[in-house]
Amino acid sequence: MIIRFLVALGITVSLAATAPQNARADAGDFLGGAVVGGVVGYAIGKDQQKKKSRTTTRTYRSGIPSTSQGAQTQTALNYFGYNAGRVDGQVGGGTRAAIERYQVSMGYPVNGYDFQPYQRDFLMQAYYWATSGGQAATQLAGQPLLMAYRQQLHSGSALAAAPQAPVAPVPQAQATAALQPQTTPTPAATPEAAEPQAGATETTSASLPSLFSGGTGGPSLANRCSAVMLQTSTNGGYTTLSNMSDPDFALSEQFCLARSYAMGRGEDLMKDIQGLTPDQVAAQCDSYGDMLAPQVVALSLSSKTDAETQMRKLALDSGLSPADLAATSKVCLAIGYRQDNMDAAIGSALMLVAMGEPAYGELIGHHLREGFGVQERRDLAMQWYDASLTALDTGSEAVFLPSQSDRPQLLRAAMVQAQ
């Protein structure tokens, strides 16, 4: 069954390499068998030189690129009534003024040039929640709707949806279709209580739709990260080496940051996939997760060495190139996290480690430590943490937040203190 599945993937590689213009007509044949590796691998190779020749994206001090992420932020700010002006992705004075108004209303430090990641993450999570049913459930709009989201997270009653699709602020953009819920999610852990903001409206969990659920029937990592993000906001920012007092929470923060970063990288790859709709890619990643599920189960029962060995054997038996398997896994890692499908997400991370990218082992350590998608095994988690950090020490590429040079030191300090 697995060999037949992976042979179909080889067919995808061939079709993508020889006739990409016909891929859309034949895409239905891939469903139920193939995954996206060939298409992604082809698209990456095809566009590599083109991307190198493009004008370098400007990045402002706020940390928002002047392209899609900037446009998403402007869309969300406008949605909640902060009036960032025209949605064009260019982070100018109007957008920075809107950020400052948002910061004032949330009680954050006010500086439109310094838009911290946790501040933007909260804004975007609230936007995805509101547009996925939160607004309809609360019958609120603008800033009261944002405050209702924060109130519900504080009270533990919000079933916050993970980002399911990138914001499409301009009509020319192709929006990723929203993923449909499968089961009722487990509510997130309630963060420390805080006083409700002015204008917030209480809404009971019974009035909210079931927006998201774990793909493997376990607790929702999306909800967990929403709660972590809220606590980070309450704390005034992310944990650093100098202020770390709770190593377990510091590791949870870094877990959710790595998850968000992996989803962002997957979105970039998704833009280069030709001939398949986002729904078709998501369906194929579901199948990829099903195929890798036995390897995911074994993570809680096997040593790191044994788990990698078994995954390499599966990859070798497939006859596919490491590049195609790695490209597939980076897309399905992102989609797995967006769908809360832990088999797809964890299996993809394990495949990436097996294909020679050891820094992705950090994710496996996080999952084993917290028990999302696998049985909780903190002893095994330390093997994965240590191996990924050692790889970074010896020159492996940092795949999560590479601009934060002190992140490995923070992870190692938190890992040691949390034991």
pLDDT at 265: 83
- pLDDT of residue 327 exceeding 70, the answer is yes
Is the domain of 268 the same as that of 203?
A: no
Domain that residue 230 falls in? 68-113+117-237
DSSP at 183? S
pLDDT in tens, 275-314: 788 888 888 898 899 999 999 999 999 999 999 999 999 9
Sign of CA dihedral 395, 397, 403, 406: negative
Q: Are residues 406 and 288 in the same domain?
A: yes
pTM of this structure: 0.60
Residue 357 resides in a domain: yes
Does residue 352 sit within a domain?
Answer: yes
* Structure confidence at residue 235 as a pLDDT band (50, 70, 90): confident
- Tell whether 246 is covered by a domain: no
Residue 37 sits in the same domain as residue 80: no
Q: What is the pLDDT of residue 45?
A: 44
> How many domains in the chain?
2
Which pLDDT tens digit goes with each residue over 238-281?
Answer: 899 999 999 999 999 999 989 988 888 887 788 778 778 888 88
Does residue 142 lie in a domain region? Answer: yes
Which of 172, 202, 237 marks a domain boundary?
237
Would 251 be classed as within a structural domain? Answer: no
Can you tell me the distance from the alpha carbon of 251 to that of 418, in angstroms, rounded to the nearest whole number?
9
Cα–Cα separations (whole angstroms), residue 158 to 92, 131, 133, 259, 344: 33, 14, 11, 20, 25
**Whole-number Cα distances in Å, 413 to 95, 242, 243, 256:** 37, 11, 12, 18
Triad 359, 364, 365: Cα angle to 5°: 90
| Residue 400 sits in the same domain as residue 329 | yes
Non-local CB neighbours of 118 within 8 Å, separated by 6+ positions: 229, 232, 233, 237, 238
Q: Residues with Cβ < 8 Å from 268, sequence gap 6 or more?
A: none
In a domain, 306, yes or no: yes
Q: Count CB atoms within 10 A of the CB of residue 58.
A: 11
Residues 340 and 218 in one domain: no
Per DSSP, the three-state class of 85 is coil
Q: Which has the minimum average pLDDT: 101-105, 200-204, 268-272?
A: 200-204
Q: For residue 383, what is the enclosing H or E element?
A: helix 378-393
127 and 24 share one domain: no
Average confidence score pLDDT of the chain: 73
The answer on 233 and 98 residing in a single domain is yes
Instruction: Provide the token pair at 339.
Output: 């769908």
374-388 residue pLDDT tens: 999 999 999 999 999
Q: Are residues 287 and 369 in the same domain?
A: yes
- Is residue 72 assigned to a domain? yes
61 in a structural domain: no
Distance CA 296, CA 218 (A): 14
Other CB atoms within 10 Å distance of the CB of residue 196 = 16
Q: Is 12 helix (H, G, I), strand (E, B) or coil?
A: helix
What confidence tier does 109 reach under pLDDT thresholds 50, 70, 90?
A: confident
**Based on the domain organization, do 107 and 48 belong to the same domain?**
no
The distance in angstroms from the start CA to the end CA of the chain is: 41
Q: Which of 177, 202, 237 is the last residue of a domain?
A: 237
Rg (CA), the chain: 21
Minimal CA–CA distance to 374: which of 290, 306, 294? Answer: 294
Q: What is the dihedral of CA 405, 164, 211, 34, to 10 degrees?
A: -110
C-alpha 3/C-alpha 11 separation (Å) is 12
Same structural domain for residues 185 and 299?
no
Q: Are 231 and 355 part of one and the same domain? A: no
Select from 203, 237, 271 the last residue of a domain. Answer: 237
Share of the chain above pLDDT 90, in %: 32
User: Looking at the structure, do residues 25 and 77 belong to the same domain, yes or no?
Assistant: no
Q: Give residue 20's identity as a one-letter amino acid code.
A: P
Nearest to 160 by CA among 131, 193, 182: 131
